[in-house]
A and B are shown apart, each in its own frame.
Chain A
Amino acid sequence: MANDKNRLANYLAHRSKRGTALLRMRDVMRVSIREVLRKRRRYLGVIAAIALGTAGFITIVTMGRDLKANFNNDLDMLGGATIINPYFEQEGMERLEWFRDRTLISLARIPGVVDVTGAVLKPRAITTFQDRIYGFNLVGVDNAYWRVFSFSAAEGRLFDDRDVAEGARVCVLGTDLARTIFGGHKQAIGQILSIDDNLYQVVGVLGGVRAGDRGQFLFLPITTAKARVVDISQPYSAYVRCATWDDVAPVAAAVPSVVAANQIAKGLRVNVAWEPLKQVQRIFWWVSLFIYSSIAATLVLGGLGIWNIMMAAVVSRTREIGLKKAMGALDNDIFFQFLFESLCVTVSASILGIILGRAGVEYMSHMLGARPPEGLFLFCLAAGLIFAVVIGVGAGLYPSIRASRMEVVEAMRYE
């Protein structure tokens, strides 16, 4: 009996002397990779599914904020959902307050704010052209005004920072006004208009989705308007453009305290287009749900695909499993071989997905003109790899256990 025990000890010692479990694992892993490479056609579908899911996940998450901002910009043109309008209203006999420059600068520093602009106004201003008198609303704005409302030039150009800084005598006309006075947009460019005995050259006609609201407006640089226009108002109203709709609520909440910190805030009102905002958020929520559901469905289908393929592999390779066990493979050897095969598929799919995702991020960065933080991409890369391991283990676990527990007799008798 003692001799028997020595012999068994010799077998076990023989095993540990020949190679550690680590060595065997490395070889089993190599065999698994070889197996996957040789049967790669079988795995192409699930590799593509997981790769596309991972690429979509990386692209959407990495570019999410930029996409939202861009999407926000497009949607916002229709409803101005992310534009907050703080204004002063007269309370009783108190003096009506207006926005000081330092207040506007402070408002621009609130996190989530993209641009801030103030406007001075002279309603019912008049000009004469070829002996005819025309009435309009005169507004003095700075260059940020165009960005806040996403205005562009339908003709000519909009005045820039230099014009504002120099107090240039240039003006931009609303579309209707340009048509009424000059008969068309092109004819308006370069013309001279007289307002309050000052001459202004028309440099552009206002364009953009919301330009129609300001068809009867004439815009002067704010510095020019303040210096040269009689009875021009103070900037009682300001416009704050938020980066995304998620920023609107916190920015709106912060505006009163920021104003109060810089000047008297008596009569301050904050106007937010809550209803359009909710509609935009609702649309984006559904779009996001659709996108993320598609990604999740792709990944889940990929996982189920691997599970299905591995189960089929266990059945179709029953004799192979029996043969390997007859050659002395431990249950663990079989278990890890199948698990490594599953992992090999998911990790290679994930790596492919990361490469595609990187390409997607680069392409979208180019299209949107934005550069997402590299850390976010690295986070997504790590998340993609971890997810691949989880899905690989999850999908491969049961088939691997089934393979490892297979009895040699049943396996060898399997036809």
Chain B
Amino acid sequence: MNSQTRYGEQGDLVIEITGLTKNYQNGEETIRVLKDVNLHVRRGEMVAVMGPSGSGKSTFLFVLGLFLPPTSGTYLVSGRDVLSLNRTEQAIFRREMMGFVFQSCDLLENSTVYENLELPLVYAGVKRRERPDRIREALARVNLEHRVYQPSNRLSGGERQRVAIARALVNQPEFILADEPTGQLDRENSLRVLEYFNKITQGSNMAMVVVTHDAMTAEHCQRTCVLSDGVLNG
């Protein structure tokens, strides 16, 4: 498949995954979790990866986040082969190029919203005087500017997930990986979060890959791929 013809210009592509496989060794047995997976995501696009439990969704997400090395295949981000990066470069890549949103929100406990958003900036070496503006800007995108100094444990579930989204945005990444972002939210909050996702991807050059088993979440994405028994379709 030619990515240039199907997904537009090469320059628009943020994620290019071709022939990706991931095997685990269990004694003599080889477990093939991902089988020849291909995925192309361009700027401004929000792609859902759906699949039942045990289909390899989480493994796929960990490979995308460079937390797990694939067994074979290529993985380019904005045209750069990221599988060749060493451990330190991978960490730099993660903080510069990608943002993560987890199912369980995973905010730092006993910390304020500001401190949660400040941490990626700390690791990125952003100067202290630049941080407040960046943090307010990220919070504004999820309508939470007024909660900037609120302790994270006093936020509602929906607010916590919006803070997690803002934290993923604060370093202005190229793409966001979201793992069941609405998994712990009620319908109303889920819809609100998905609207923010849409707004963020459409209003910027950011790409987003959402791993979910929730049909409503998938409906809000421009494209849905189904991962079944290690094979990605769609």
Which A residues fall within an 8 A CB radius of B? 3-4, 7-8, 11-12, 14-16, 18-21, 23-24, 27-28, 31, 34, 38-39, 319-320, 323-331, 333, 407-409, 412
Q: CB within 8 A of B91: which of A8, A24, A39, A330?
A: A330
- In the complex, are the beta carbons of B89 and A8 less than 8 A apart? yes
Beta-carbon contact of B110 and A8 below 8 Å:
no
- Pick from A3, A18, A319, A323: contact of B125, CB under 8 Å: A18
| Alpha-carbon separation in the docked complex, A412 to B123 (Å) | 19
Question: Which residue of chain A has the shortest Cβ distance to B96 in the bound complex?
Answer: A11
Q: Which residues of A contact B119 (CB under 8 A)?
A: 31, 324, 327
A23 and B89 contact, Cβ closer than 8 Å, known pairs A28-B122, A31-B119, A327-B119: no
Residues of A within 8 A of B127 (CB): 18-19, 23
B102 → A minimal CB distance (Å): 7
Asked if A20 and B125 sit within 8 Å, CB to CB, the answer is yes
* CB <8 Å contact, B124 and A18: yes
A408–B106 contact, CB under 8 A?
Answer: no
- Name B82-102 residues within 8 Å CB distance of A: 84-85, 87-89, 91-97, 100, 102
Please determine whether B120 and A328 come into contact, CB atoms closer than 8 angstroms.
yes
B residues contacting A by CB (< 8 A) are 62, 65, 67-68, 78-81, 84-85, 87-89, 91-97, 100, 102, 106, 108, 110, 115, 119-120, 122-128, 167, 171
Distance in Å: Cβ of B64 to nearest Cβ of chain A: 12
Contacting residue for A31 out of B65, B96, B122, CB 8 A: B122
Q: Is the Cβ of B123 less than 8 Å from the Cβ of A409?
A: no
B65 touches A408 (CB 8 A): yes
Which 7 A/B pairs are nearest by Cβ-Cβ distance?
A328-B95, A19-B125, A18-B125, A408-B67, A27-B122, A328-B94, A327-B120
Q: For B100, give its contact among A4, A23, A327 (CB under 8 Å).
A: A327
A4-B81, A408-B65 known; A15+B92 contact, CB < 8 A: yes
Contacts of B110 in A (CB 8 A): 38-39
A-B contact pairs, 16 of them (CB 8 A): A4-B79, A7-B78, A7-B80, A8-B85, A11-B92, A18-B125, A323-B102, A324-B123, A326-B67, A327-B94, A327-B95, A329-B95, A333-B123, A408-B62, A409-B62, A412-B102
Chain A residues within 8 Å of B65, by CB: 326, 408
Q: Are A12 and B67 in contact (CB under 8 A)?
A: no
Note all chain A residues with C-beta closer than 8 A to B79: 3-4, 7
Q: Contact between B100 and A11 (Cβ–Cβ < 8 Å)?
A: no
B67-A15 in contact (CB<8A): no
The answer, among A18, A323, A329, for a CB contact under 8 Å with B106, is: A323
Distance between Cα atoms of A39 and B115 in the complex (Å): 16
Q: Which residues of A contact B100 (CB under 8 A)?
A: 326-327
B85: which A residues are within 8 A, CB to CB? 8
**A132 CB, min distance to chain B CBs, angstroms:** 91
The smallest beta-carbon distance between A10 and chain B, in angstroms, is 9
Chain B residues closer than 8 Å to A11, beta-carbon distance: 89, 92-93, 96-97
By a CB distance below 8 angstroms, the chain A residues around B97 are: 11
